[in-house]
Structure 1
Amino acid sequence: MGIKVRKVESKSDLKQFILFPWKIYKGDDKWVPPLLFDVARRLNKKHNPYFEHAKAEYFLAERNGELVGRITAQVDKHYLEHWKERVGQFGFFEAIDDPEVANALFDTAKVWLREQGLEKMQGPFNFTINDECGLLVDGFDTPPMILMTHNPKYYQKLCESYGMKKAMDLLAYRTEASTEPDPIIVNFAELLKQKHEIKVRNMDWRNFDREMDWFVEIYNSAWEKNWGMVPLTEKELRAHALELRLLAMLWPEMNFFAEVNGKPIGMSITLPNFNEVLIDTNGRLLSLGSLKFLTHKIRSCRVFALGVKSEYRRLGVGAIFYIETLNSARRKGFQWGEMSWILETNEPMRRAIERMGGKV
């Protein structure tokens, strides 16, 4: 029998959709199982604020009654308005190593997107560029950092054999905590900090509402012209309020705002690499308290977001953030960090990271 692709229409279907990756990654010791409650929350169309400006359909592929793949197709009103392109996305793609299965899933997503009036399909995005996105094509020898993607090597072959072409390389730079940054950059950053009276402070989550407003303001300004960017809404950010509060309570020294005359001009968010402990939880976490208990084992961190408003980018704020983060990471006992991801076209950021000792 051939491949049958069907919509996810029941709670049982959704459970199968969520659990299917355990079949694909069985025996893969580099895979970090996603937290089940988090995946269920993100896929919940009634509670995920993404669906206030987007719609999606979820699909499962079967052969002889056995699940062999899954995919989502989604259309984001904010993306369409921002980029003026008739482009839809696919995401949450998982499949066995069989072109027939992958092609059936891609065809289904493409047809659904065409029915929405779209002309191109791009992915994978789970659901947007603000979530896990992209296809891993190099670096299979290590587990992914927190909120970074991981997939079998054969996924690239499945996508390319379908006719897909690379849209953009998303790079990850690794830096050892013991690496000394270029002293010229360090001194120059300090001079710029003094000259322009740039104040760098830790995020203050006691003033949570203000910090959330600043986060959204800086993000939507700093990333406005970045490839694939989708404006972030306050509701979408607040959907992660609990995680952000936990982050602030445990690691306030790793997260910064930069100000000039009391106005926000940039931010830097660094996440402890929770994947070092989540890899052993099998997708289940008893409580946030248990995560807090396990964090003493974490030895790496990821610079998750570093952005500066366009009119302030020549003030060396990125270098200031890097130095502040490196010093804090050393004090916290982190051994290495990753800056990811960085667009291949972002030459200024790439050069700065490389001069600081970062390597792809």
Structure 2
Amino acid sequence: MIIVEEVQDEDQKKEFLEFPARLYQHDKNYIRPLDKDIENIFDPQKNKFFKNGECRRFLFKDKDNITVGKIAVFVNQLYLQNQPTGGIGFFDCINDQETANFIFDYCKKWLQARGMEAMDGPINFGERDKFWGLLIDQFIEPLYGMNYNFSYYKELFENYGFSVYFEQLCFSRSIFADVSRVFTVMHEKHRRNPAITAKPMKKNNLEKFAADFTEIYNRAWASHGEGKQLEKAKVVKMFKTMKPIINEHISWFVYENGNPVAMWINIPDLNQWFKYLNGKFGIFEKIKFFFLKKFRKNEKMVGLVFGVVPEWQKKGIDGYMIWEGTQHIRKHTDFTVTELQWIGDFNPKMIKIAENLDTDLTRKLATYRYLFDRNKIFERHPDL
């Protein structure tokens, strides 16, 4: 017998956070997410997706009142798919298929009652940049905001009937690895052009760099596939929020006669510091974080966004920017590895860019889909 509890009171919220910490307590690669990052997702005052959706959390307990699983289930009217599709996320479960089936069945019924015809998971009740996908290959330490799970979760999903909607590929490379000769040749070519300059992002001029970021992003990506236009005011706010963690040596912009044409945005991997905080971020942890950030080397940086405006694509400006930045990073930082945020297998253009950077595939996640009508033909995410 499995008992279902909707997460409502403080004890249940605490159990939702503590259950995975107990489940993974002997897994050396597990890094507990910050409690506040999880709780903010389920706070209607802090998560804008509640304006167009509904979300519930549940705990699943055995006859002895011991937690054996947890999950969040949600609908988002802005999540437009071929059929009305709900989401599940923040799934954790003991290694037992019957328990997992019970949890998935419960979510299926909840979603069907709200008119859904399919469920995707594990995904976030929010943007794709955090807590999205199931780790299915290379179970190493997660980056900040990245899901981590046991290898048996893949069997729990697939044995129930989930199919891979798209794979999420993660690449990395050593900062000190040889740079492609193509890049160094392109660097030399553009270095001789007095109209071309490369600059690292500076904290004392964030509004300018936010404006440059917005222009490059909107021209390079917004009209491409599922991209959307960014507003400068929101980007300025985002940059200012990120100011405490911005490293002035690792994000780069390229300009032609002062006009922004390319960008390469990186941040330190916060999990290299957060893994010592056990999910907490109160006053004591903030002080500890300050000292960790100041005195403990962080050798891993994360690539967030890479973009080149259309008229400069396929002209080697990316090689110029990467070699210009890499030389500087080698001299002025402790970083030894750069990780790229996941790239969907439906985006061959970005995968090609990653491969051209001489990266290694370091981990793979998957976004699964389950069609409620088992006779309906399953289709993977279309290529961009």
Equivalents in 1 of 2:154, 2:242: separation in Å?
Answer: 33
Q: Counterpart of 1:28 in 2: which secondary structure? A: coil
Let me know the Cα RMSD of the aligned residues.
3.2
Q: Counterpart of 2:136 in 1: which secondary structure? A: coil
Aligned to 2:371: none
Residue 158 of structure 1: how far off its partner (Å) = 0.4
The answer to whether the Cα contact below 8 Å between 2:170 and 2:341 also exists between their aligned partners in 1 is: yes
Aligned to 1:58: 57
Q: Return the match for 1:274 from 270, 273, 282.
A: 270
Q: Cα deviation per residue 1:257-287 (whole Å; 9 max; x = unaligned)?
A: 4445655554332121222232222112435
The answer to whether the Cα contact below 8 Å between 1:258 and 1:267 also exists between their aligned partners in 2 is: yes
The percentage of aligned residue pairs carrying the same residue is: 27
The answer to whether the Cα contact below 8 Å between 2:182 and 2:319 also exists between their aligned partners in 1 is: no
Residue 110 of structure 1: how far off its partner (Å) = 2.3
Aligned to 1:157: 155
Aligned to 1:102: 100
The answer to whether the Cα contact below 8 Å between 1:99 and 1:158 also exists between their aligned partners in 2 is: yes
**For structure 1, which segment, 187-196 or 336-345, has the greater mean C-alpha deviation from structure 2 after superposition?**
187-196
Equivalents in 2 of 1:59, 1:114: separation in Å?
Answer: 17
Residue 94 of structure 1: how far off its partner (Å) = 0.9
- Work out whether 1:300 is the aligned partner of 2:300: yes
Residue 66 of structure 1: how far off its partner (Å) = 1.6
Aligned to 2:366: none
Aligned to 2:379: none
Q: Which has the larger radius of gyration?
A: 2
Aligned to 2:374: none
Equivalents in 2 of 1:216, 1:51: separation in Å?
Answer: 26
- Give unpaired runs (5+ residues) of structure 1: none
Specify the code of the residue in structure 2 equivalent to 1:252.
E
The answer to whether the Cα contact below 8 Å between 1:6 and 1:60 also exists between their aligned partners in 2 is: yes
The answer to whether the Cα contact below 8 Å between 2:129 and 2:145 also exists between their aligned partners in 1 is: no
Cα distance change on mapping 1:265 and 1:58 into 2, 3 Å: farther
- Give unpaired runs (5+ residues) of structure 2: 362-384
Equivalents in 2 of 1:230, 1:71: separation in Å?
Answer: 29
How does the TM-score come out when normalised to structure 2? 0.79
Equivalents in 2 of 1:234, 1:50: separation in Å?
Answer: 21
Residue 29 of structure 1: how far off its partner (Å) = 0.8
The answer to whether the Cα contact below 8 Å between 1:18 and 1:36 also exists between their aligned partners in 2 is: yes
Q: What pairs up with 1:1-360 in 2 under 5 angstroms?
A: 1=1, 3-64=2-63, 65-80=65-80, 85-127=83-125, 128-140=127-139, 142-189=140-187, 191=189, 197=195, 199-209=197-207, 211-212=209-210, 215=213, 219=217, 222-224=220-222, 243-248=241-246, 251-260=247-256, 264-285=260-281, 286-295=284-293, 296-309=296-309, 312-331=312-331, 332-360=333-361
Residue 330 of structure 1: how far off its partner (Å) = 1.4
How does the TM-score come out when normalised to structure 1? 0.84
Cα distance change on mapping 1:168 and 1:56 into 2, 3 Å: same
Q: Which has the higher contact order (CA 8 A, sep 6+)?
A: 2
Residue 99 of structure 1: how far off its partner (Å) = 1.4
Equivalents in 2 of 1:125, 1:196: separation in Å?
Answer: 47
Equivalents in 2 of 1:114, 1:14: separation in Å?
Answer: 25
Higher helix proportion (structure 1 or 2): 1
